Amino acid sequence: MPQPWAGHIVEGRTTVLGRHHPTRHRGTLLIHAGRGPELTGVPLPRPAIRRFGGFVAVAELIGCHPADGPCAPVPPASRWHWELARIRPLSRSVSARGRPGLWRPTNEQIRLIERQEPLWWPCL
Ligand SMILES: [Zn+2]
C-alpha cells in the first residue's frame, strides 16, 4: 500500500485498513510499503519508518466488514475495512516490488522476514 498508510499501521495509529475489496483471507498478512509517490494531505509517520518499496510489518488479518460501521472514517476511503491485530514492525524493511491485491512473497523474502519475525506459530 502507499505511504503514508503503511507507516500509520507500523506506528499503530490504526488497526483498520480501508480496501476496495473484501477478502476471505485470515491469518498472517505482510504489510508492504509502495515505492511512492507518497500520498499527500495526510499526516506523515516518523521519518524512521517512512520506508518505501518493501515489507515493513507483519500483522494478523482477523476480520473484514463493510465500511459503514462505527470505526469510519478509516483511511484510505474505501468500501471495506480489513481488521488487523498483532502488528509487529520489522526493524529493517525487506525489499519487494508491490503488486495489486493480495500476493505471495518469494521464498527469499519470507526467509529475510523470518530472520526478524517468526511468521508461523504452533497452535492447539
Ligand atoms: Zn469499519
> Which of the pair, 118 or 93, is modelled with greater confidence?
93
In a domain? residue 121: no
Residue 111 neighbours by CB under 8 Å, 6+ apart? none
How many CB atoms are closer than 10 A to CB 87?
A: 17
Instruction: Find the domain containing 76 and state its range.
Output: 5-116
CATH of the domain at 28: 2.30.130
Tell me the pLDDT tens digit for each residue of 29-82: 999 998 877 777 777 777 767 788 999 999 999 999 998 877 856 666 788 999
The whole-number pLDDT of residue 57 equals 93
In a domain? residue 123: no
- Could you tell me the distance, in angstroms and rounded to a whole number, from the CA of residue 85 to the centre of ligand 1? 14
- Closest listed residue to residue 63, CA positions, set 31, 89, 27, 88: 27
- Could you tell me the distance, in angstroms and rounded to a whole number, from the CA of residue 42 to the centre of ligand 1? 19
- Could you tell me the distance, in angstroms and rounded to a whole number, from the CA of residue 54 to the centre of ligand 1? 26
Are the beta carbons of 110 and 45 closer than 8 angstroms? no
24 pLDDT band, cuts 50/70/90, is very high
Q: Strand order in 80-95's β-sheet?
A: 16-19, 80-95, 54-66, 27-33
The three grid cell numbers given for residue 89, joined into one nine-digit string = 514492525
Total tally of structural domains belonging to the chain = 1
Q: What is the mean pLDDT of residues 85-91?
A: 92
Tell me the whole-structure pTM to 2 decimals: 0.85
The three grid cell numbers given for residue 75, joined into one nine-digit string = 483511511
In a domain? residue 30: yes
